[in-house]
Structure 1
């Protein structure tokens, strides 16, 4: 849970971790199907709350995606979202669980905090789907400015969209506008699709990562699974094709292929590189790398990749790697 003693200003760089891509993909599907999805956005929090400032969730007649609480206040949000969809207004919803009565009531979160939510009827924002599609493309941060008077502004990569909706049930507050930043999702480039891949790639995808797998061996390409791109490219071409890679994982289960991948990654600015296998194997690989390559990897290479103590087997290894990447991701998001 997010915990703060003062209301949080949702400025650039403060968007929490999670998987907003799933929310926006579902919203796009709903709009294309002629439905009336409503995007709930946490614009302000105080105290202890389940959702941090900037959290997204989808309501309306679309499939429910994302969470604002552990499920306790979602019925109240759904009712307010239905009103926003019907009236095509921007609704504002205050959730207050600071007092003892709310703390122990059957519908409360069990958290001592306050949240202010904006509920946007997306069908009343023509063109918003283009901004969402552009963000899902992964290149840039999406900036959202919401005003109490009903003005909505989106900005991304030099483009801008603006609408003015009639505000509904606007609370009396000193603050009248909020700017929220939705940074691009992190990208993981996985070099080598071994037995961990059927568990690892879908897990990272469900956590909000953009996943690219590079594998030329037909056996492992077929076993890797679906739902994410699988590139049949040498490491140098795969890296060149994805310059916005944040994390690279070397997982060929093949000594020469891993050596070639490390040599390629040594010449890149990718900040986090993981190598599968024990320390002895890393030492043997380093003997075959040139001194400048070893020096370039120092400080960036995590080997053996994955958190210790998660168990044996492909699924346990996949879990340990995903957990370590989530730790790194969380550290990058702290101000």
Structure 2
């Protein structure tokens, strides 16, 4: 589960569902683990679980602890060390050969805490933010686990840690995380003791623009939205590009191919797929996409059709160098043997995910490096 999708689900549950009990966040994951730092689990007062930290074992243990943590009223950090057979004693038997540290915080009823409201605003505006939280502290420093600081793309700063003696250092590191997109665990020390801070990169969902609103675009938009992506569908035909056909899309845009450069913003777009099934429209949109910085440009249809488009663009003086062409994927999708629109959508979404993560799309059984690594974009 992507962290942005998980956050959306948790925030929606807090808005719509019953009384919250605790929120658990992975703050450190070493070795082979099911989820990485930043994964979250919300437990509501009726025992409902939203999100997840493992295949189910950690969830059961945290659920069992949640009432005591709520009664105590203080956040706590729990370490699950299953790098040896010792975890069998606790009945978890995770078998992942890694170490996970989890911050578990009781949540008050009513309005969500300020930091969750800040995340909600950031995601709604499609802006990145960095969120720092105390996960360990010497008694003499006067801080408590769960205290926070956040900084957004607009440089707005909030949270209790903004008044800390270490605020300047934390803010500097938070800005680095904001720019890099990679979460970090930091320790700040002095003669008075040490302060351990988890600084998390919180980024908006990946965005996918689909050029073409035919019947085969529907499963592509639907599958992308199921992953929590921000979906935009663009077409010049009023009968095709409608809310009735694409209720899952965040945006549906009526726009002719020649107006795309002026009317459709590609700012912060992670992927675009061209599937108008109209040669001249596809060629015009392809030229615009290749001139843009969009990291993934997919074109539906035979390889020869895409090659012909590129040759014609080259003759028109719109040739593109190898760097720009390296972002082009035509035919779009992984080689899964896909035939139906649903299968084709799966192959395209899988390729976008592989490209965005800097992966090959090959079977995991052939991968020698760790499975979990930070995404490329």
TM-score where L is the length of structure 2: 0.73
Aligned counterpart, 2:87: 102
Q: Closer, same or farther in 2 for the Cα pair 1:293/1:224, shift >3 Å?
A: farther
SS of residue in 2 equivalent to 1:286:
helix
Which residue matches 1:261?
285
Distance 1:106 1:195, change over 3 A: farther
- 1:53 and 2:37 correspond: yes
Are the counterparts in 1 of residues 123 and 203 from structure 2 also a CA contact under 8 Å?
no
2:141 aligns to what? none
CA contact (8 A) 1:60 1:78 kept: no
Aligned-partner SS, 2:131 = strand
SS at structure 1 position matched to 2:268:
coil
Q: How does 1:267-282 map to 2 (within 5 A)?
A: 267-282=291-306
Q: Please say if residues 73 and 108 of structure 1, whose CA atoms lie closer than 8 Å, have aligned partners that are also in contact.
A: no
1:153 correspondence with 2:149 = yes
Counterpart of 2:210 in 1: which secondary structure?
strand
1:22-71 CA deviation, whole Å, 9 max, x = no partner? 33233333433462253321111222211112222222338422221111
On the 8 A contact 1:39/1:119 being kept in 2, the answer is yes
For residues 22 and 319 of structure 2, what CA distance do their matches in structure 1 show? 51
Judge conservation of contact 1:77–1:93 (CA < 8 Å) in 2: no
Measured in 1, the distance between the counterparts of 2:307 and 2:231 equals: 28
Q: Any idea what the Cα deviations from partners look like across 1:246-288, whole Å, max 9, x if unmatched?
A: 2111111111221221132233222221111001111232243
Query: Residues 224, 256 of structure 1: CA spacing in aligned structure 2 closer, same or farther, 3 A cutoff?
Result: farther
Ranges in structure 1 where 5+ consecutive residues have no aligned partner: 1-17, 165-172
Match among 115, 127, 146 for residue 114 of structure 2: 127
Runs of 4+ in 1 over 6 A off after TM superposition: none
Q: Matched residue of 2:221: which SS?
A: helix
Q: Gaps (5+ residues) in structure 2?
A: 137-143, 162-192, 359-373
Do residues 309 (structure 1) and 330 (structure 2) align? no
User: Aligned-pair distance for 1:328?
Assistant: 0.9
Classify the secondary structure of the residue corresponding to 2:213: coil
C-alpha distance in structure 2 between counterparts of 1:49 and 1:123, whole Å: 30
Q: Distance in 1 between matches of 2:67 and 2:226?
A: 27
- Higher RCO by CA contacts (8 Å cutoff, separation 6 or greater): 1
For normalisation by structure 1, the TM-score amounts to 0.81
Farther off after superposition, 144-153 or 30-39: 30-39
CA contact (8 A) 1:20 1:208 kept: no
Q: How many residues align?
A: 309
**Greater displacement, 288-297 / 325-334:** 288-297
Q: Is the 8 A contact 2:5 2:229 kept in 1?
A: no
2:310 corresponds to 1:326: no
2:197 to 177, 187, 197: 177
Decide whether the 8 Å contact of 2:150 with 2:158 is kept in 1: yes
1:65 aligns to 2:50 (yes or no): yes
Q: CA deviation at 1:233?
A: 2.1
Distance (whole Å) between structure 1 residues aligned to residue 124 and residue 31 of structure 2: 34
Aligned to 1:243: 267
